[in-house]
């Protein structure tokens, strides 16, 4: 069993990612779940974290929030995209 799990936030609804996190904490017995997003999905990642903690699993705490920047190539140009990683732990 994995000691930490990563959930990448993308185009699906926030509830999809909330259920994925609940599954990781309950079925996989993960001690730590990381929610990762970049660009326009950063706000959705924060929504996922808030929904998880406030509605479904109040015992989950935010351990760490890591902000960063990825450099990607788009049409021959290098552009910077903001990233976020929210580390959640279950007490």
Kindly state the percentage of the chain with pLDDT values over 90. Answer: 86
What pLDDT is recorded for position 3? 47
Kindly state which CATH superfamily the domain 4-90 is placed in: Alba-like domain (3.30.110.20)
**Reported pTM:** 0.89
Q: Where are the domains of the chain?
A: 4-90
Mean of the pLDDT values across residues 38-57? Answer: 96
The answer, yes or no, to whether residue 85 has pLDDT greater than 90, is yes
Q: Which residues of 53-74 are buried (b: 16+ CB within 10 A; e: fewer)?
A: beeebeebeeeeeeeeeeeeee
Q: In what order do the strands lie in the sheet with 32-38?
A: 4-8, 32-38, 77-90, 60-74
What pLDDT is recorded for position 4? 61
What pLDDT is recorded for position 91? 80
């Amino acid at each position: 069993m994995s000691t930490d799990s990563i959930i990448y936030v993308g185009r699906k609804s926030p509830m999809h990612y909330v259920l994925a996190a609940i599954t990781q904490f309950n079925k996989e017995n993960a001690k730590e779940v990381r929610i990762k997003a970049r660009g326009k999905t950063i706000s959705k990642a924060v929504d996922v974290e808030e929904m998880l903690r406030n509605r479904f699993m109040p015992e989950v705490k935010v351990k760490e929030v890591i902000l960063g920047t990825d450099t990607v190539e788009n049409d021959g140009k290098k552009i910077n995209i903001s990233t976020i990683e929210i580390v959640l732990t279950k007490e």
